[in-house]
Amino acid sequence: MDNRFRFRVAWTFVALICVTTWVCLTAVLYISHEKFRLQNYYFYEREFSKNEADVGIKYRHIPPKKENILPKDEDLFESRSLSGFPSISYADYPDDIIALHDVFISVKTSEKFHSTRLDLILRTWWNTAKEQIYIFTDVDDNQLKNRTDGHIINTKCRRTHHRQDLSCKIGQEYDAFIESGKKWWCHFDDDNYVNVDALLRSLRNYNWKSDVYLGKPSINHVVEAIYKGNKVHFWFATGGAGVCISRSLGEKMNSWSRHGKFQATSERLKLPDDCTLGFIINNRLGVELTKVDEFHSHLEQLSLIQQDKLSQQVSLSYFIDEDKGSNVIELDKKISAYSIEDDPTRFLSLHCLINPKVGWCSKEKAMQRNQVNV
């Protein structure tokens, strides 16, 4: 009796294990099936959504069918990145042309430049895109707040040119771009002149739904640095010439950039803000820098830019120092609205060259001609 009893108990126990296992497997299979079904439903609902632009941001890009696109030869563009690979042409997306309201333009400055560099911007190219430009500084300035209709942001970063403070500001520029929902982020310094029309023409060559990093390197070799004890190599676009980043790429930068992380990344890398951008994009995310020759900083010889090509450039800069001399664009007296004494940066005359219909440009030209005639 004892053996029979033990035998029955053992078989009962085995049977319970088998039943339990079967129930668990059935439940797992059912849950997996439901999850797969719901995922497919979720995907196809969005794939056939009427608003494909939103789908491209949140889920995946669904490009138009190629057979429906018949671009003209002159509409086909190609720009090569530093690696030699062609960037994606915006001609592939003719129904989604970038407009001015799609661009978030940020300008980094500091209190000591409010009455000089920033004032020059507000007198010139600010007026061509005042709704899209936001100024990031380090103090409250009610006069500038009124003058810019509230488009000035006190980052509360320290008022120095040290690495930590520069990265503090650009980190907040990044946060503001992400929150804006714009398709492009273009960062410039307070010693840049930006030809907004040329900027839009340039951006339209690329697809904001792809990972695009636009700018111009200031050195002809990759940067080598140490990050968390390891050697890293990357290209970077100098911030002094301007940098543009697509929405798709911007969202992928979140882990190293959002809510103070950009400054922390810069500190670990021990390099300034523009280098940190390049590190995140080129090294961490593997996205190539696409060189745009129409971006210019004061690190290059600006007088070499041909005068008849100035209106085609996206960004220009200047450098003026009593001891070291100056580095500015060259403008012939016949086409310059101001003399070099009255316009040492040449930005006023450049603005008149690009926007000849501006009232004060015509008046200054007339006065200058009268003086010459006398």
Active site residues: 274
Token pair of 200, please?
Answer: 């839009």
**Distance in angstroms (rounded) separating the CA atoms of residues 279 and 253:** 11
Strands 213-215 and 289-291: parallel
**Distance in angstroms (rounded) separating the CA atoms of residues 70 and 92:** 9
**Could you tell me if 188 and 162 are in contact, meaning their C-beta atoms sit under 8 angstroms apart?**
no
- Cross-strand bridge partners of residue 133: 105
Q: Interior CA angle at 105 toward 318 and 103, to 5°?
A: 135
**Distance in angstroms (rounded) separating the CA atoms of residues 221 and 233:** 10
Residue 129 CB coordination number (10 Å): 18
Please report how many Cα atoms fall inside a 13 Å half-sphere around the Cα of residue 106, on the Cβ side. Answer: 26
Task: Return all residues near 122 (Cβ < 8 A) that are at least 6 apart.
Answer: 147, 148
- For residue 330, give Cα distances in angstroms to 86, 116, 303, 325, 336: 33, 21, 5, 14, 9
**Distance in angstroms (rounded) separating the CA atoms of residues 276 and 263:** 9
Residue 49 CB coordination number (10 Å): 13
**Distance in angstroms (rounded) separating the CA atoms of residues 106 and 186:** 6
Largest Cα–Cα distance in the chain? 133
**Could you tell me if 234 and 247 are in contact, meaning their C-beta atoms sit under 8 angstroms apart?**
no
Q: How many residues does the chain have?
A: 374
